[in-house]
Amino acid sequence: MKRTVLALGATLLAACSTAPQPAEAQPAFKADGKTLRQVYEYLHANPELSFQEKNSSAILAAEMKRLGFTVTTNVGDAWTKARALKEYGKLEEGVGGYGVVAVLKNGDGPTLMIRADMDGLPLVEKTGVAYASKFRDTAWSGEESGVMHACGHDIHMTTWIGTARELVANKSKWKGTLVMIAQPAEEIGLGALAMLEDGLFTRFPKPDHVIALHDNAALPAGHIGIGSGYVMANVDSVDLKVTGVGGHGAYPQETKDPIVTAARIVTTLQTLVSREIDPSDSAVVTVGAFNGGFKHNIIPDDVEMQLTVRSFADTTRDKLLKGIERIARAEALAAGLDPEKSIWMRVKENFTPSLYNNPDLAARVSGVLKTQFPANVLHVATPSMGGEDFSRFGRTADKIPVMLLWLGAVSQAKYDAAQQPGAKPLPSLHSSEFIPDPDPTLAAGVKAMTAAAMELLK
């Protein structure tokens, strides 16, 4: 087992000592006999945080078993798994915690993997719908909060179930091996990694293609966005600390002011994108937190900053990260500080790699969708600086082609109203007010994923 999974296990185990165990599973719910709308409303009202998807994974696993899949899932809980990772370096059962892997063999042919993610976000829901989440729980960080499916993973799970139902009902129309996976912990960038390092591509049939969809808060429900090449960004979180010499604010000449040095670092960092990255490339360096000092007349010893760094190409990512360290050290030197002692930088390990839609795969799926949907609901998706750990499935040594579709989720009425001059913008993903229009969104999602699967399982 690789070091990254062991490090994850150590992190989870540490959290176990400070945070209460996850809330008990909600009252038993079975998807069998339920419409997709009923399944969606239940999942929306009962979200679970990253690595705590006990109830959601059980529902999905049970439905896959009912449909005739061979299912591997976690029969213990994530807290037990954290201890297993720490003590033994491996997971005894399940796939990456609460991950679900369901396999259905239907004769000779290619192997297709379809992925959905399960976790919600620590947000208090403000949508006002009848099935809004009122659930509260404690995250691995130890913070208690409301929990909400503000990124649409409830749509993803429900579409996943609907697609499996359609493919099972139409087994005579395809051949090969279908692998349906439900992934934990996408929101913290660790779930795909946990599943891969727990043997996803070695314990189960290795896919020829991996596909997924993600709902979109800027497209009308029923519309589909398809991108080729880079569609989502490398996402890095960087911690940067500047240590100076503090003192009285009235006598700055006796100090080495870390606030001034850190402020210079912030402004110079902006030249990384504007002057060092090719204008035809894309990159973002944002300082999201700047913390130092606590009183008007005291120059502090330290300033701490938190950065988010976004890019598409790995070469651009490397240039940005090296540039941040170079600029920080140079500004420290310019301020009369010793860069070796005054600059501390850490790139956090839960890095999410950029998502590259395989062009041949995207073209093939796009071609079949053009036969299933009117031209006016199909869109060419532009690259986004958001991150998605689905990218990891295409980043292994096998270089398996992957592709993610965008699924419009906004009610047509709300979308039309938002286009009017002076109108309030639509709520984005991760907003406490984001709510999909379920019926047309689910119908389009199932239709698109089923069509794509049929094409890839010829």
User: What is the pTM (predicted TM-score) of this model?
Assistant: 0.90
Separation of alpha carbons 218 and 119, rounded Å: 21
Active-site option among 48, 119, 137, 187: 187
41, 53, 63, 117: the active-site residue: 117
Q: Which domains does the chain have, with CATH numbers?
A: 3-232+354-456 (3.40.630.10), 234-347 (3.30.70.360)
Q: Tell me: the pLDDT tens digits for 243-297?
A: 999 999 999 999 999 999 999 999 999 999 999 999 999 999 999 999 999 999 9
Q: Please tell me whether residue 384 adopts helix, strand or coil conformation.
A: coil
Per-residue model confidence as pLDDT tens digits over 196-252:
998 999 999 999 999 999 999 999 999 999 999 999 999 999 999 999 999 999 999
Going by pLDDT thresholds of 50, 70 and 90, the confidence category of residue 84 is: very low
Q: Are 5 and 349 in contact (CB under 8 A)?
A: no
More confident residue, 132 or 15: 132
Q: Taking a C-beta distance cutoff of 8 angstroms, is the pair 409, 216 a contact?
A: yes
Cα 34 to Cα 39: distance, rounded to the nearest angstrom = 6
Give the chain's mean pLDDT.
91
Residue 187 is a catalytic residue = yes
| Beta strand residue intervals within 144-273, DSSP E | 144-146, 176-183, 209-220, 224-226, 229-232, 234-243, 247-248
